[in-house]
Amino acid sequence: MTGFSHSPRIMAIINATPDSFSDGGKHKNLNDAVNWALQLAEEGADILDIGGESSRPFSEPVRVDEELSRVIPLIKSIRQKTNLPISIDTTKAEVAKEAIFAGANMINDISALRFDPIMAETVAQHQLPVVIMHMLGTPKTMQKSPYYEDVILDILNFFDERVSFALSQGIDKHNILLDPGIGFGKTTEHNLKILNHLDQFKKTGFPLLIGLSRKAFLGTITGEKEPSNRDIETLCANIWAIMKGADILRVHNVRQCKKAIQIIDAIKKEMVTDGSA
């Protein structure tokens, strides 16, 4: 086990969508959404991840103009209130570009630069951090009987190809982060195997983002059907991810995650003082 070698950063999920699986439509009003983002910042978020297109299983893609109308006013308004890093969760180069102009500092692309032929060029042009995530198929198809020869090896091979592509397009190595895509074309067993072998992804040398907040596989394990009631499950799995070396945790409940990290940091400090680290 990697151990508590560092404190992970918290990426707060802000869905400007009517249909996301956990909090879709919760903050329809722009002022409400901005205030929610500022509350998450106050609770300890290190990054605000804003998305305007749901990626829940079987979801349909949205038009570029619709996605822009959801995220750009929100990013502009948040940027006027805080200097906290803002991530744009999108697979569309035009949305990423406009989000950057509005104040975003990072691109979180669940397609790993595959869905839009000019996304890599856009990332390279602006030289901002980009999250390359593994997904089997598309959100609409990813949960239709996902299959792997070896889920860990298959994802590692995917990352190797995608990182090579990113570098070939001029994206700086130091701007690349990896996300194994828990819940994106994976069964419960696949997700658990990924969590158990996060150290294999750490060996790539790239920062590791883990997004498992409130996901269905957690409810499959505990029997909790309501996503918003899965925060305890999320916390337990995230503590495991921290132990395995996760660098960023993407969560809905920032306050709870922050408290867990504070406790872990306190224990780690005692271990160093005691000489048992």
Q: Which two tokens stand for residue 252?
A: 């809905």
Stated length of the chain: 277
Closest CA to 13 of 180, 201, 207, 212: 212
Q: Is 114 a catalytic residue?
A: no
Q: Is 215 a catalytic residue?
A: yes
Is residue 53 within 8 A of residue 71, CB to CB? The reply is no
Residue tagged active-site, from 9, 97, 186, 250: 250
Residue tagged active-site, from 162, 202, 215, 244: 215
Is residue 253 within 8 A of residue 234, CB to CB? The reply is yes
CA distance 140 to 176: 26
- Report the DSSP beta bridge partners of residue 131: 108, 177
Q: Which two tokens stand for residue 235?
A: 């916390």
Which residues are known catalytic residues? 215, 250
